[in-house]
């Protein structure tokens, strides 16, 4: 009876106060062990590696689902990247972490793959090792001097980020700098965030990416490599003040912009450019390809109305200094049917040339342009620049005896290039989509034998031109 009663009293004491005292009748915690000459002996278990919970198990489930902060004393010694050695270990998120017993109070860093403090600056991890954040204990898997791992990525916001840099001064900046040991005092690059940058408008922040060096062949040694992103959705290159009205602001005064160079196969080419061409897409075509009237030549083209349209430059558009009219070049050739245009200017001497301001028909122009001595066997080339006022499809026609052709910006638009018979005129027509601005026209006529007739006419067009084409509708630039 003397043995049973204390036991029952002890049990009831535990149930009543929910505290256990060993060596004391007044426990001051859930478990209070007091002794002057004895300690606590943790379960002695032989671990095989530091990232494997077994042989420890959860007593409630019988599985190796070990609760974080579980303490054991490891009795085994293993090697490799997951090595363990005798000592007290605590389980923490899939790893057994050894509890150090000899770490100096000022040891903030440890030797690689250990919990031993370095004994020289050469061994410090911050000078001769790698740092992993969120990567676990296996430093052999670290891919850089600083390796940050997130099982689930962090969306950037004012209160979160995978790497969070913050400054406390208004108008200050947070930055990451990149240096080279060579040219140490001059060569570096950086990424910098500046708040309260209100240059050029109401923007209050800017992200700057820049590389600076000790010299530049183009004379820009300071901010020539800068790329600036402002909160107005503006990007500036070589300027710290990208205009809020521009998506891209280029600040260099001695360089240009190089548009992508591609080789189009025709005006309806949809294969050369990746994806689906949006209206307004600009390229520089380097190829001469395709079949008229869908052929292309070298120059700028933009995509609109389901086709590539050649860009007509408009320098000094509307200037009163332009001379109205066309230029003509006449060649006295042998009588031949369907002469080769590409060889006419090479194999024949220019007989007549000059400016012309009348109608483009034989009744008005033949007296001025006819180079022949016998009335037959000649070719006339007429050139001029037409300024389109309203973009759209322009229609043209020709009537001639013998052949006539119309080229616009190097592309053949209309052709009846063969000999008429018995005075019956040949007719031809064609159309071209012309963007607003300047376009180069060429009108060709060849005379095989009598009669001598040609007329070039407007068809329907957005500029409202009608009837016979007149030289006064063109300007002379060459």
Among candidate residues 217, 250, 283, the one where a domain is terminated: 250
Query: Do 353 and 209 fall into the same domain?
Result: no
Asked whether residue 465 is assigned to any structural domain, the reply reads yes
Distance between CA 362 and CA 342 in Å, rounded? 23
Return phi, psi of residue 147, to 5°: -125, 115
Are 328 and 471 contained in the same domain? yes
Same domain, 359 and 409: yes
> Do 297 and 193 have their domain in common?
no
pLDDT averaged over every residue in the chain: 80
237 and 194 in a common domain: yes
Any domain includes 69: no
Residues 6+ apart with CB under 8 A from 325: 355, 356, 357, 384, 471, 472, 474, 475, 476
394: in domain: yes
Which of 128-132, 163-167, 195-199 is predicted with the least confidence, judged by mean pLDDT?
A: 195-199
Residue 91 maps to a domain: no
> For the chain, how many structural domains are there in total?
3
Q: Which residue has the higher pLDDT, 172 or 474?
A: 474
Q: Are residues 384 and 450 in the same domain?
A: yes
Q: Do 297 and 381 share a structural domain?
A: no
306 and 421 belong to one structural domain? no
Residue at a domain's end among 200, 229, 250: 250
Q: Above 90 in pLDDT, residue 304?
A: no
The answer to the question of residue 77 being in a domain is no
Question: Mean pLDDT over residues 369-373, rounded?
Answer: 82
pLDDT in tens, 102-137: 545 555 555 555 666 666 555 555 555 677 787 765
Quick one: three-class SS letters along the chain?
Answer: CCCHHHHHHHHHHHHHHCCEEECCCCCCCCEEECCCCCCCCCCEECCCCCCCCCCCCCCCCCCCCCCCCCEEEECCCCCCCCCCCCEEEEEECCEEEECCCCCCCCCCCCCCCCCCCCCCHHHCHHHHCCEEECCCCCHHHCCCCEEECCCCCCCCECCECCCCCCCCCCCCEEEEEEECCCCCCCCEEEEEEEECCCCCCCCCEEEEEEEECCCCCCCCCCCCCCEEEECCCCEEECCCCCCCCCCEEECCCCCCCCCCEECCCCCCCCCCCCCCCCCCCEEEECCCECCCCCCECCEEEEEECCEEEECCCCCCCCCCCCEECEEEEEEECCCCCCCCHHHHHHHCCEEEEEEECCECEHHHHHHHHCCCCCCCCEEEEEEEEEEECCCEEEEEEEEEECEEEEEECCEEEEEECCCCCCCCCEEEEEEEEECCEEEEEEEEEEECCCCCEEEEEECCCCCCCCCECEHHHCEECC
Q: What is the CATH number of the domain that holds 439?
A: 2.60.120.1560
Task: Tell whether 182 and 237 lie within a shared domain.
Answer: yes
* Residues 335 and 425 placed together within one structural domain of the fold: yes
Average pLDDT over residues 128-154: 75
- What is the C-alpha separation between 314 and 358, in angstroms, rounded? 24
How confident is the model over 66-70, as a mean pLDDT?
A: 88
Residue 213 lies in a domain: yes
| Averaged pLDDT, 328-335 | 87
Q: Are residues 285 and 348 in the same domain?
A: no
Question: Which of 291, 311, 331 is the last residue in one of the domains?
Answer: 311
* Residue ranges making up the domain that contains 297: 258-311
In a domain, 368, yes or no: yes
409-439 pLDDT tens trace: 999 999 988 776 656 688 999 999 999 999 9
- pLDDT tens digits for 227-244? 766 666 678 777 777 777
Asked, for residue 278, whether it belongs to a domain, the answer is: yes
Residues 350 and 209 in one domain: no
DSSP 471: G
Average pLDDT over residues 9-15: 45
């Amino acid at each position: 009876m003397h043995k049973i009663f204390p036991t029952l009293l002890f049990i009831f004491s535990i149930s009543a106060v929910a505290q256990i005292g060993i060596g004391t009748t007044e426990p001051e915690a859930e478990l209070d062990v007091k002794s002057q000459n004895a300690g606590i002996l943790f379960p002695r278990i032989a671990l095989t590696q530091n990232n494997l919970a077994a042989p420890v198990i959860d007593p409630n489930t019988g599985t190796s689902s070990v609760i974080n902060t579980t303490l054991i004393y490891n009795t085994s010694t293993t090697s490799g990247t997951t090595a363990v050695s005798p000592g007290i270990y605590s389980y923490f998120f899939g790893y057994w972490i050894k509890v150090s017993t000899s770490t100096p109070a000022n040891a903030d860093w440890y030797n690689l793959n250990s919990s031993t403090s370095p004994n020289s600056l050469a061994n410090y991890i911050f000078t001769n090792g790698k740092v992993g954040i969120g990567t676990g204990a296996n430093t052999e898997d670290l891919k850089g001097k600083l390796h940050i791992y997130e099982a689930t990525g962090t969306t950037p916001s004012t209160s979160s980020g995978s790497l969070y840099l913050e400054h406390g001064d208004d108008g200050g900046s947070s930055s990451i700098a990149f240096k080279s040991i060579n040219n140490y005092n001059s060569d570096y690059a950086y990424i910098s965030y500046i708040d309260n940058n209100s240059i050029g408008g109401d923007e209050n922040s800017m992200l700057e990416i820049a590389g600076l060096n000790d010299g530049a062949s183009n004379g820009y040694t300071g901010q020539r490599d800068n790329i600036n992103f402002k909160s107005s959705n503006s990007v500036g290159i070589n300027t710290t003040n990208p205009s809020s009205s521009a998506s891209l602001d280029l600040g260099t005064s001695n360089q240009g912009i190089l548009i992508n160079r591609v080789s189009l196969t025709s005006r309806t080419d949809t294969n050369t450019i990746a994806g689906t061409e949006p209206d307004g897409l600009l390229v520089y075509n380097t190829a001469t390809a395709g079949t008229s009237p869908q052929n292309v030549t070298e120059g700028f083209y933009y995509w609109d109305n389901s086709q590539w349209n050649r860009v007509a430059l408009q320098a000094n558009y509307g200037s009163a200094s332009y001379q109205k009219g066309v230029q003509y070049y006449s060649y006295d050739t042998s009588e031949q049917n369907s002469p080769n245009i590409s060889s006419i200017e090479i194999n024949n001497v220019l007989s007549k040339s000059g400016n012309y301001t009348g109608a483009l028909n034989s009744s008005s122009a033949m007296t001025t342009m006819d180079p022949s001595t016998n009335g037959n066997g000649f070719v006339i080339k007429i050139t001029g620049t037409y300024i389109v006022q309203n973009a759209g499809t322009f229609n043209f026609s020709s009537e001639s005896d013998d052949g006539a052709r119309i080229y616009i910006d190097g592309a053949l638009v209309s052709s009846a290039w063969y000999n008429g018979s018995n005075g019956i005129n040949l007719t031809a027509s064609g159309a071209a989509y012309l963007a607003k601005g300047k376009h180069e026209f060429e009108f060709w006529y060849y005379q095989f034998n009598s009669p001598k007739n040609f007329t070039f006419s407007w068809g329907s067009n957005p500029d409202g031109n009608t009837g016979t084409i007149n030289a006064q509708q063109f300007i002379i630039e060459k």
